[in-house]
Structure 1
């Protein structure tokens, strides 16, 4: 597979020059820059100040009540909410520096319910809306008080991903507490499948709430005007702190030639064709379907490089092919024959998802002169992305599994109880940590060529910036 690294050198130099000499931010028709518009989340009025402080007092009551009643989730969320809400007040020593009271009220509702009402909420929509609101406040404050710089659409997108990720993480923590300390947050005597179904339905509501919150927040920022508090407007950041890493070609680190790497990908494709034919011959729909999908995915790197000029060197193509190859072999029998095999494939697949997420996020960082993502933010966003995509994948598995059972068919994707689901999500996190910690150096060229493609598609060149 030909490498397209050479044409990127000039673009890389130009882009880094622009990062070291920041250009003026894009300004909206209302006279506010994209980053200034995030400050609209904080309003300055006596009415808002009084109502918000009353709600903070309510959160304090929820914190105490949750502690007395041993409602630990309410205690945790109350403490985090209070810290996030009052952080600007402490930073500026200004008691009026507060978010809108109705956002704080939304955060209060599920916390108070969990602290004082014995009957849980019917769905996870309201708690997830509260979590999304908390995530947005946190993103805006990180934007203001750190070197992170966001624009509204990107902050909203991250908020949606954050909501899904936290929905998955909360269930991981509940399950872990049950296994390690004998609590009954999830493992309360019901069957594995019953608990898993309840968790999946909860995650469906979490996903719906995250998307709903994202839409509402986007409309809120679109309507933002001069009401923004100038103190919350983030100062410009020097490009010297940009999330640049020195690229390393993965093919050079694998210990065998590029030609052998390409041959190995071809070998995997041939084996997948054999598995596909075997599935068709034996009428095993799951085997045939998974092999066909895996085979199609192995050609995606070549298509991206040919049609979109995104540099995918052979080592990365082998990485992608290996993930789907081992999954397809698992559906052909290895999942049942070798117990830990599922953990291997989930970890490997998660590394590919993490790589895609990192490359996309860094491409936005390189493409948009306003967005600035320091390395700690890239690390955190990669983890959030994988956790969120893990939730989406588990929901997809659940829907396919239940749909096939309802139709009397063998599912092409299946779940095997809550333990299986949570352990899968744990190994997804392991894969994300591996990429976020050690794998990003292999994705530099991909993200740079993706940024070039974004500029070409949207007719935004470096000269125009």
Structure 2
């Protein structure tokens, strides 16, 4: 079996970051030590998330396209290891918006891959590139909207502030200010989806078989002989 060197490298780096935070916790005490230990635990969970495509492929019986896996692995690194581990959410003001744009590109790629489940390869190649990318684009937009539904629901039920409608001290924003985070996320999601959809459209117009790069493939099961 061919080794996945990229995944192996990502796991090794992820475990290295986990151990770094774990060793740092031994030099701290009290709440700081607890916070650092929890951070190390989050990094360890992040390493586990890197295996999701491989596990999912075995569960559903389809290979996950390499392009989709790379976009996913990059997202996990940006969100978990860099964003959470090295506090880029606090260091870079627009880091959260960057992740929204990246996740939108990932969702467009997922939408393109899902089309391959409903059409034969030759039919897919002959299909209109505009139809294919529009499906991926609106799929990404829909998931972005449902994510905001999720944030609104749990903000309402659990008193959270995921949609940033209030200050860190709990004072509600007034008027348009209360909508800025949510609308910013939706616009960023749309922009990220549009840019990747445009890239996919250019690729498909130039070479229709490019769709195979982001297509699911049925895993062939070898029958055991007695």
Q: What is the TM-score of this pair, normalised by structure 2?
A: 0.64
Listed as ranges, the matches of 1:233-382 within 5 Å are 259=5, 261-270=6-15, 273=18, 281-282=34-35, 291=43, 294-307=46-59, 308-313=61-66, 316-328=68-80, 329-332=82-85, 333-366=87-120, 373-382=127-136
Listed as ranges, the matches of 1:3-402 within 5 Å are 259=5, 261-270=6-15, 273=18, 281-282=34-35, 291=43, 294-307=46-59, 308-313=61-66, 316-328=68-80, 329-332=82-85, 333-366=87-120, 373-402=127-156
For 1:395 and 1:289, the matched residues in 2 are separated by 28
Whether the 8 Å contact between 1:350 and 1:432 is mirrored in structure 2 is: yes
Q: Work out whether 1:447 is the aligned partner of 2:199.
A: no
For 2:147 and 2:46, the matched residues in 1 are separated by 16
Whether the 8 Å contact between 1:298 and 1:317 is mirrored in structure 2 is: no
For 2:79 and 2:119, the matched residues in 1 are separated by 32
2:183 corresponds to which residue?
422
| 1:316 Cα offset (Å) | 4.2
For 1:292 and 1:401, the matched residues in 2 are separated by 27
For 2:158 and 2:137, the matched residues in 1 are separated by 31
Listed as ranges, the gaps of 5+ residues in structure 1 are 4-257, 406-410, 457-465
| 1:386 Cα offset (Å) | 0.8
Whether the 8 Å contact between 1:358 and 1:378 is mirrored in structure 2 is: yes
Distance 1:316 1:368, change over 3 A: closer
| 1:361 Cα offset (Å) | 1.8
Distance 1:352 1:289, change over 3 A: farther
For 1:396 and 1:276, the matched residues in 2 are separated by 31
Q: What is the TM-score of this pair, normalised by structure 1?
A: 0.34
Q: Deviations over 1:156-187 (max 9, x none)?
A: xxxxxxxxxxxxxxxxxxxxxxxxxxxxxxxx
Q: Work out whether 1:438 is the aligned partner of 2:199.
A: yes
Describe the SS at the equivalent of 1:365: coil
For 2:182 and 2:44, the matched residues in 1 are separated by 24
Matched positions, count: 189
For 1:431 and 1:401, the matched residues in 2 are separated by 25
Listed as ranges, the gaps of 5+ residues in structure 2 are 26-31, 166-178, 204-209, 222-226
Structure of higher RCO (CA pairs closer than 8 Å, 6+ residues apart): 2
Larger Rg computed on CA atoms: 1
| 1:385 Cα offset (Å) | 0.6
| 1:294 Cα offset (Å) | 4.1
| 1:290 Cα offset (Å) | 6.4
| 1:297 Cα offset (Å) | 3.1
